[in-house]
Amino acid sequence: MAYLEEFSIHIANHDVHRFLQLWEEYCTSDTVEPVEYKHVLEAIKNSEIAESIGGYVEAGLPLWSLIQDEEASRDILRLILDIQTTNSPVLADTAFKFLKEHYGDQKFFNTKMRLIGLRDRERFQRAITNYELLSHMDKGKFVFHTAGWGTGEIMEISLVREQLIIEFENVMGRRDLSFENAFKTLVSLPDTHFLARRFANPDKLEEEARKDSVQVVKDCLLNLGPKTAAELKEEFHELVIPPEEWSRWWQATRTKLKKDTYIIPPSGIREPFRLRTAEVSHEEQLASALEENNDFETVLLTTYNFVRDLPDMLKNEELRAGLIQRFIDLLSDENTTLAQQVQASIFLEGFCQHKQPEKDVETLIQEVESVSDLLAAIPILAFKKRALQAVHDHRSDWVNIFLKQLLGTYPSAIRDYLLKELQGPDTIQALEETILDLLTNAKQYPEVFVWYFQKIAAGKNVPFSNKEGQCKFFEAFLTLYHYIENNSEYRDLIKKMYNLMSAQRWQMVRDIIEDTSLDFCKEFVLLASKCQAISTHDMKILRSLAQVVHPELKDAKKKSAEDASDEVIWTTEEGYNKTCERVRQIGEEEIVENAKEIEAARSHGDLRENSEYKYALERRSRLQGELKTLSDQLGKARIITPEDIIADEAGVGVAVEVAADDGTTVTYTILGPWDADPDHNILSVQSRLAQTMLGLKEGDKFSFNDDEFKVLGIRSVLQEQ
């Protein structure tokens, strides 16, 4: 296949000159490998340089004449005639002789020869392909439309009109096709072809897929070529298998495909399933895979995947003995690390029931100094758990090790195992202390905290799953949410936390706040309001949930801008008058002026090319939009009065003096959006910083943009005037 690789490189590079040089060399060979020759011609036919090579493909005829296999000879000559563009007498004679020899006794032979161009011999490209398509055309036969119409069934055909009528799967109604168009777009499908069976009788194909799913998938791969899992879904989902049953059917089928000796399973999700030309036993597959790789990690993963999916393989004593010896050699290799030795011993004892003296798991696990490093070096999840089980069974310090690993970055299955073992009567107190440390330092272990919080919220039998514990952890949950929501590193975790809260119409929140105190509900609403990722609509829902538990929250006279800013636009009298003046200016001056601009521009004629007219129209649109917006806002505006201000907490109408960690102090005034002036530290109540400070009192601390601040004092703005 050396020539095929070189041809493929030149085709990929669109290098016609070098391709033709290699083609000339190839065609002068004394021997030919039919499979390679066929693959080369197929690569040419499917390439973008096929037309450029078509004038030279005739040089391959002497090489074709050396082929003894009749089927291979037919396929290769068909491809040569598909690609050729010279329509030379030699090609015409060769094609005519072949068709006469194989189809000369067929009905309408001469008519078909005329239709494919071999009577006048002027244009007969695709001669064999087109003749076989004509011979295939008959009522009830199936074809495939390469331009997107899909599989079709021939309903009528006329050699006189040179026309056929076909019903396709992807277009409505029946379609008339001339033979000329059919030669360009149709491919014949035998009745046994997967696409023909799916189109003709999908119910029967569904029945076959349920009885022998692997065989139907193999038929698909045989007829359509290698397919990824996603591509197989396109071929089967809904068309063969009902959508509601697809997942269950595919999971079972995929497991069977991995065990089939004719299937090459994909190594990754984007790789296709392939069909072998000959059966290869599982033992041969494993031996071949191990021959290609000698490094420890690859040998372990390859062997583990085989014996996990095909446990019956180890019933072969010869194979089992070979694997045992292979891993014993790895254990004896001085270059093998302690972590690798542990994994090798786990495999030998777990799958081969072989315990190597002085290198068994019990002995090796006691030599491990850092269990964290050991687990990090083990790629297989099941082996991680087995190593931890060995630590539990054979080390006296297992409790301290497990407590430390509980706060590590591991899959949930590992954490679940650690938690289960630590819930014994002798270790529960140490576990509770670790969980309290997790509660206090949630920011250091965000993934672990969220994992444990899910168990508490679900009412699992774990420490602090009572109502008091749920409340404490929920407060820490919201605090953590606010702390990490602007950190891109935790984007997926933030999404998970939000979905955890909002799932089933905020059911988790409902369950936690039920039967809680009024103070807790107030604290819960306050913490939630500080989370910028929780939208205004979500906050309304959360407040409503809190009011269901404590109806008195509905009547609380807490008029901070946090509650009112959704409906009311707070403003000073000066800001209100300024906005009213702007509305008057737009309505009485600028719109009138703009109308004159439009009229003047219109008088210049040819409105399509009149830039002044277009600019005037755009200005009118902007003015009308601004006027409408300001008018709507004036309807919601409310001038701040002393009665609206709560002087002992941060809210609209107050000045808040804060101190940063470095000792610098600054005073922020919180007003409505019309009065905002960031250059003079006057914040809009709708700004992020103001929203962060809402509800805080003197002495409270808060964080903003990763900086820590403390509230030094709060005073009413109106009292200063």
- Is 123 in a helix, a strand, or coil? coil
Give the separation between CA 69 and CA 104, rounded to whole angstroms: 21
Selection from 467, 482, 561 nearest residue 520 by Cα:
467
Buried b (16+ CB within 10 A) or exposed e, 169-194: eeeeeebebebeebbeebebbeeebb
Give Cα 162 to chain centroid, integer Å.
Answer: 49
Give the separation between CA 668 and CA 652, rounded to whole angstroms: 11
Strand 707-716 and strand 174-178: pairing? unpaired
Give the separation between CA 37 and CA 14, rounded to whole angstroms: 19
Give every residue of the chain whose pLDDT is below 50, as ranges: 557-565
Length of the chain: 721
Beta bridge partners of 683: 670
Query: What sign does the dihedral 205-209-215-220 (CA atoms) show?
Result: positive
As a whole number of Å, the end-to-end CA separation of the chain is: 92
Cα 436–Cα 440–Cα 443 angle in degrees, nearest 5: 130
DSSP letter, residue 686: T
Give the separation between CA 154 and CA 452, rounded to whole angstroms: 63
Cβ contacts of 361 within 8 Å, gap of 6 or more? 342, 345, 346, 349, 386, 387, 390
Is residue 666 left, alpha or beta, with left meaning phi > 0 and alpha meaning psi from -120 to 50? beta
Give the separation between CA 412 and CA 392, rounded to whole angstroms: 18
Position 605 scores a pLDDT of 64
Position 609 scores a pLDDT of 60
- CB distance 150 to 168 below 8 Å: yes
What are the two backbone dihedrals, phi and then psi, of residue 552, each rounded to the nearest 5 degrees?
A: -65, -15
* Cα Dmax for the chain: 112
Give the separation between CA 221 and CA 203, rounded to whole angstroms: 20
Residue 158 has which token pair?
A: 């006329």
Residue 266 has which token pair?
A: 């994909």
Give the separation between CA 514 and CA 427, rounded to whole angstroms: 32
- Is 369 in a helix, a strand, or coil? coil
Position 233 scores a pLDDT of 94
Q: Which residue has the tokens 């197929």?
A: 42
- CB distance 599 to 532 below 8 Å: no
Dihedral over alpha carbons 289, 295, 298, 299 (to 10 degrees): 60
- CB distance 560 to 695 below 8 Å: yes
Give the separation between CA 126 and CA 85, rounded to whole angstroms: 10
Helices (H), 550-677: 561-564, 573-585, 591-602, 611-636
Query: What sign does the dihedral 379-382-384-387 (CA atoms) show?
Result: negative
**HEC string for 265-332:** CCCCCCCCEEECCCCCCHHHHHHHHHHHCCCHHHHHHHHHHHHHHCHHHHHCHHHHHHHHHHHHHHHH
What are the two backbone dihedrals, phi and then psi, of residue 668, each rounded to the nearest 5 degrees?
A: -105, 135
- Is 703 in a helix, a strand, or coil? strand
Residue 162 has which token pair?
A: 């040179």
Position 706 scores a pLDDT of 74
Quickly list DSSP for 439-485.
HHTTTT-HHHHHHHHHHHHTT-SSTT-SHHHHHHHHHHHHHHHHHHT
Tell me the C-alpha to C-alpha distance, in Å, between residue 537 and each of 503, 542, 607: 15, 9, 46
Position 630 scores a pLDDT of 86
**HEC string for 47-75:** CCCHHHHCCCHHHHHHHHCCCCCHHHHHH
- CB distance 710 to 658 below 8 Å: yes
- CB distance 277 to 283 below 8 Å: no
Beta bridge partners of 711: 658
Dihedral over alpha carbons 670, 671, 677, 681 (to 10 degrees): -10
What are the two backbone dihedrals, phi and then psi, of residue 190, each rounded to the nearest 5 degrees?
A: -65, 160
Give the separation between CA 430 and CA 639, rounded to whole angstroms: 58
Position 688 scores a pLDDT of 82
Residue 438 has which token pair?
A: 């997790």
Catalogue the long-range contacts made by 611-618 (C-beta closer than 8 Å, 24 or more residues apart). none
Selection from 501, 496, 544 nearest residue 521 by Cα:
544
Give the separation between CA 61 and CA 58, rounded to whole angstroms: 6
Position 407 scores a pLDDT of 92
- CB distance 262 to 218 below 8 Å: yes
- CB distance 32 to 65 below 8 Å: no
Residue type for position 704: F
Give the separation between CA 355 and CA 368, rounded to whole angstroms: 19
Position 448 scores a pLDDT of 95
Query: What sign does the dihedral 155-156-157-163 (CA atoms) show?
Result: negative
